[in-house]
Amino acid sequence: MGNKQTIFTDEQLDAYQVRHLQLHGRYHELAPHLVPMDYTKDPDCKLPLALIVNMPELKENPFRNRIVESFSEDGMGNLSFNEFVDMFSVLSEMAPRELKAIYAFKIYDFNVDNYLCKEDLEKTLNKLTKEELTPEEVELVCQKAIEEADLDGDNKLSFADFENMITRAPDFLR
Amino acid sequence: MEALKEQVEEKKKVIATLRNQPWRMKRRLVVLKEAQEFVERFEGALGKGRGRKLYAFKVMMAKKLIKFKRDFENFKTACIPWERKIKDVESHFGSSVASYFIFLRWMYGLNLVLFGLMFGLVMLPEILMGLPYGSIPRKTVPREEQPTAMDYSVLFEFGGYCKYSFLFYGYYDHERTIGLLQFRLPLSYLLVGVGIFGYSLMVVIRTMARNANEGGDGAEEGDFTFSWKMFTSWDYLIGNPETADNKYASITTSFKESIVDEQENQKDENIHLRRFLRVLANFMIISCLGGSGYLIYFVVKRSQEFAKSENANLSWFEKNEVEFVMSLLGLVCPPLFETIAELEDYHPRIALKWQLGRIFALFLGNLYTFLFALFDEVNAKLESEKSIKNSTEWIYNQYHANYSSFFNTTDVSIILYTVVEFVKLIVSDIQVTYLTILIGDFVRAVTVRFLNYCWCWDLEAGFPSYGEFDISGNVLGLIFNQGMIWMGAFYAPGLVGLNVLRLLTSMYYQCWAVMCCNVPHERVFKASRSNNFYMGLLLLVLFLSLLPVVYTIMTLSPSFDCGPFSGQEKMYDVVMETIEQDLPAFIGNIFTYATNPGLIMPAVLLMVLALYYLNALSKGYQQANLDLKRKMQMARDEEKNRRNNKDSTNQVMKDLEDLLPNKSLAPPPIEEDKSPKTKPGAARKGVNLQKDVSLAAPNPRAPVTRAPGPRRGPPGNARGPQPGPGRGRGRGGPPRQ
């Protein structure tokens, strides 16, 4: 049904401060048989990656797998409801810039080593252009990107480099 | 009590900033609960209570506002016509091809306004309130022409009923006022004619000024070009697969554009060979231009000789020779210029500008040669008309005009003749453009596609392959078309309506043609962010087309029986008449004073001085901008070098260091604390302590690589001894994982 009283307690709603019920509705419809309607007891259920990346908001996004993986605790992309809410709150337009920068860095870091190395950049580029560029062009672009943003000279981008570069970008917020 | 208050404040702050923390949801919830309990327990004690509800309300209002703003922006964007089409083209062909369509759309808007003015203030009153067709001689097809007046071929040449309709200047009556409302048609005609130019001028200059603010000549600015492209170009709000496809294409194109720019920067040069080739190319092009001008003059003179001979024996080709030759030149010369321009080896954006300039010179030369040749003819006619005018036989001819000779224009004003020729030229130009697209692109594409199956060499890869969209040719065609419309609008009010139709069909036709038959350029390059180059050309053309019209208004006296000014000595007499008769006396006095040369000369002088002053001011600002940019660049370089622990590359700094006394007494670098930010390698190297005296302010976010210890600054440096590792406290905190 959807009666407020039976899904969350009032305190829980207050605590979340987001459009909680709608999100729960979305979460629920991804896997109706798995997701309980009653969250008052904080049940522990996770949805697999494959279900989440099929949501219309994420379906066309080239980085959908990485996005879901970076919000999941186990790193494999299985999201509990809390993590689900987390993901949408960061992606929303109310999220502050610094927060988005942090998560953006995590998303682009394919091998999860806390640095954006050349392979990470190459993967990002290929996902963005659907591999339309020739290898030489890919090489050139990654080289230039590292040249531009790398401030400590280690040929990869640490978080400070990334943040320094991204906060100056005019249209980062989307 | 105070301590408690402080704690409550702190907890409140934690609650407020909870969203900003990149923690897991669980952790956030725990912290939130704790903080809220604390606040609740003690807030009651302190006497406040409604904070939370108010906060929630404020958040909701903020969200609603943002959503409303977003919706409104979306609505505004959806109202722009053809936006989707143009974005499609842009994503596949790049911003330079799309800039042509944006320009086309802008022109359409301009013409729509001009048409509105012309139609509402001139054509409509004449049709509604003026004398109907057939009532006076100028509105009637002469008896001889009547049998053929409805023939398609005659209509096509703008003869017959067309010539005697409201489309042309000759139809309009010269009565001072018409209809119930006493609408002053001749005055309105003149003012609208002039107003068209005024409005166009204002709009073009306003657009140029607006574009100038956005600055940039298309060359990449900014320091993080590639990085930004890589990390911020995807639009996370896309949910539609087709839009996503377009977005992928546009991102790829955008990368390719930047790559082209980058490669240009890295090219090597052999200056002398280049210069020689460029001079050679320019020489060849100038000779082409001269040749084409001469050809046109020759053809126009020849057509007049044809006309003097028997009318009926002229073949179609000979009758339309002039238009044919002009169109042919317009078709053949631009590709020729492009081939010659390959000798010059410029960056594609600069090559485009040169190409535009050359084609512009070509069209201009052609048009003016054409006009001069025609004017020659008109002057000859004027002489002959003046001699006939005084004889009574002329009045007789008005009713029994004989069209024995193609140039018997005694009952059709000479200006009308010129205008009809002009309109024919414009129409044939339009037809040629459409035909070119059809044949040059569509038929070519179809042939290549289907013949490829049974041809010996690969048609798609080699010759002729698919065509690329010819930006320069199309843009200039558009600009010149507009110039001709401006020239003709005063004498043929229907021309503006014709142009509106033409632009509308052009938009759809060319969008379809480009998506269907063209391939993207081999080297996709980024258009200038502003369309100022096109606007500048348009402005020039506007002035050039203003000249003939103003000339005729001021000097030629209108024909006796044709047009709204007939009967006056000069056309602007209408205005004088109105001022004298309709407006109160003192306004007449004001105008007399205002047109006194003694007043006008100082006014002109003042304007020139103001121009000079503003120019100097803007130059000053540009210089200041450059200085600031340079400073920022230097600051960034210094920062980079400091982080890399290298010597400052700034020669001045190096010299300064050399001058310092006791350089050898610098303390050996001490190992710094390991901070999670630094890599193991960097910590070992010594830091050049002198770097701190650089011109830039120290970056508070630098990682802790500084050796502690006493430092000597250069004389005059107010900075004290270097603080110890504690300085690193506030910077580069632990990675937030």
Are the CB atoms for B469 and B518 separated by under 8 Å? yes
More confident residue, B120 or B566: B120
Are A16 and A45 part of one and the same domain? yes
For residue A138, list chain B residues with Cβ-Cβ distance below 8 A.
Answer: none
| Minimal C-alpha gap between B347 and chain A (Å) | 18
Q: Which residues of B touch A114 (CB under 8 A)?
A: 735, 737
pLDDT digits (tens, 9 = 90+) for B134-172: 666 666 666 666 666 666 666 666 666 666 666 676 666
Least confident window among B163-177, B587-601, B620-634: B163-177
**Facing A149 at nearest CB: one of B24, B224, B234:** B224
Work out whether strand B518-519 and strand B467-468 pair parallel, antiparallel, or are unpaired.
parallel
Give, as one character, the DSSP assignment of residue B94: -
Indicate whether A140 and A163 sit together in one domain: yes
The last residue of a domain, from among A91, A123, A148: A91
Residues A101 and A168 in one domain: yes
Q: How far apart are CA B31 and CA B17, in angstroms?
A: 11
> In the 8-state DSSP scheme, what is residue A154?
S
Cα separation of B432 and B495, whole Å?
18
The pLDDT-based confidence of B203 (bands split at 50, 70, 90) is: very high
What one-character-per-residue DSSP string does B485-530 give? Answer: HHHHHTT-THHHHHHHHHHHHHHHHHHHHHHHHEE--SS--PPPSS
How many domains does chain A fold into? 2
Can you tell me the distance from the alpha carbon of B324 to that of B316, in angstroms, rounded to the nearest whole number? 11
Question: What 8-state DSSP symbol labels residue A79?
Answer: E
What does the alpha-carbon distance between residue B377 and residue B379 come to, in Å, rounded to a whole number?
A: 5
Domain CATH number, residue A122: 1.10.238.10
Beta bridge partners of B178: B183
- Residue A4 within a domain: no
Q: Do A58 and A101 share a domain, yes or no?
A: no
| pLDDT value of residue B593 | 80
Query: Cβ(B106)–Cβ(B80) under 8 Å?
Result: no
Express each pLDDT in B509-533 by its tens digit: 888 888 887 777 665 555 655 567 7
Residue entry with tokens 């090489």: A139
Cβ contact B26–A172 (<8 Å): no
What is the β-pairing status of strands A46-47 and B467-468?
unpaired
- Please name the residue that has the structure tokens 């600051």: B635
Q: In this structure, are A80 and A39 located in the same domain?
A: yes
Q: How far does A165 lie from chain B, in Å, by closest CA?
A: 7
For residues A77 and A133, membership in a common domain is answered with no
Give the whole-number percent of chain A exceeding pLDDT 70. Answer: 78
- Take residue B131 and report the two structure tokens written for it: 């004398």
Is pLDDT of B628 > 80?
yes
Q: Are residues A105 and A152 in the same domain?
A: yes
Q: Between the CA of residue A29 and those of A68, B434, B723, what are the distances in Å?
A: 18, 54, 59
Domain that holds residue A57: 10-91
Q: Is the complex ipTM more than 0.90? A: no
Nearest to B482 by CA among B546, B390, B418, B563: B546
The low-confidence residues of chain A, meaning pLDDT below 70, are 1-20, 38-43, 93-94, 170-174
Asked whether residue A112 is domain-assigned, the answer is: yes
Residues in CB range of B527: below 8 A, 6 or more apart? B94, B95, B96, B98, B99, B218, B349
Is A53 domain-assigned?
yes
Q: Any CB–CB contact under 8 A between B57 and chain A?
A: no
The answer to whether the CB atoms of A144 and B226 lie below 8 A apart is: yes
- What is the token pair recorded at B371? 């006009």
Calculate the dihedral angle through the C-alpha atoms of B41, B44, B46, B47, rounding to the nearest 10 degrees.
Answer: 170
Share of chain B above pLDDT 70, in %: 62
Mark whether A70 and A107 lie in a shared domain: no
Is the confidence at residue B365, as pLDDT, over 70?
yes
Find the closest chain A residue to B20 by CA distance. A99
Domain assignment present for residue A3? The answer is no
Within 8 A of A108 by CB-CB distance, chain B residues are 231
A68, A91, A114 — which closes off a domain? A91
CB pairs < 8 Å spanning A and B? 139
Q: Which residue of A has its CA nearest to B230?
A: A125
Q: Is A162 among the domain residues?
A: yes
Please report, as a single letter, which amino acid is at residue B445. A
Torsion angle of alpha carbons B473, B475, B477, B482, nearest 10°? -170
B14 vs A: CB within 8 A: no
Asked if residue A80 and residue A120 are part of one domain, the reply reads no
User: Do A68 and A129 belong to one domain?
Assistant: no
Establish if A138 belongs to a structural domain.
yes
Q: Nearest CA to CA, how far is B60 from chain A (Å)?
A: 10
Give A91's contacts in chain B (Cβ within 8 Å): 236
CB atoms within 10 A of CB B530: 20
Residue A108 phi, psi dihedral angles, 5° rounding: -80, -10
Q: Which residues contact B63 (CB under 8 A, 6 or more apart)?
A: A94
Same domain, A106 and A138: yes
Look at residue B661 in the predicted model and tell me its pLDDT: 63
**Of A101, A92, A121, the residue nearest A166 (C-alpha):** A101
Report pLDDT digits (tens) over B204-226: 988 888 877 665 444 445 567 77
Q: Answer yes or no: do A112 and A73 share one domain.
A: no
**Helix or strand or coil: residue B469?**
coil
- Give the C-alpha separation, B14 to A16, whole Å: 14
Mean of the per-residue pLDDT values for chain B?
71
Locate tokens 């942090």: which residue? Answer: A102
Distance from CA of A48 to the nearest CA of B (A): 18
pLDDT at B608 over 90: yes
CB B138 within 8 A of CB B561: yes
Query: Which residue type is seen at B274?
Result: R
Q: Which residues of B439-462 are buried (b: 16+ CB within 10 A; e: fewer)?
A: ebbbebbeebeeeeeeeeeebeee
Three-class SS of residue B356?
Answer: helix
Give dist(CA A116, CA B145) in Å, integer: 83
**Number of Cα atoms under 13 Å in the Cβ half of residue B446:** 7
Is A141 in contact with B231 (Cβ distance < 8 A)? no
Looking at CA atoms only, how far is residue A159 from chain B in angstroms? 8
Q: Please report, as a single letter, which amino acid is at residue A99.
A: L
A135 within some domain: yes
Count CB-CB contacts under 10 A for residue B423: 24
Taking the C-alpha atoms of residue B721 and residue B521, their distance in angstroms, rounded to an integer, is: 61
Q: Where are the domains of chain B?
A: 1-79, 83-269+345-628
- What span, in angstroms and rounded, lies between the C-alpha atoms of A135 and B56? 52
Tokens of B132: 């109907």
Can the peptide bond before residue B520 be classed as cis, meaning omega within 30 degrees of 0?
no
Percent share of chain B, pLDDT over 90:
6
Please report the pLDDT score of residue B202 as a whole number.
93
Residue where a domain terminates, one of A66, A91, A116: A91
- Distance of alpha carbon A37 from alpha carbon A43, whole angstroms: 10
According to DSSP, the residues that pair with B519 across neighbouring strands are B468
- Is the CB of B649 inside 8 Å of chain A's CB atoms? no
Q: Do A15 and B32 touch (CB under 8 A)?
A: yes
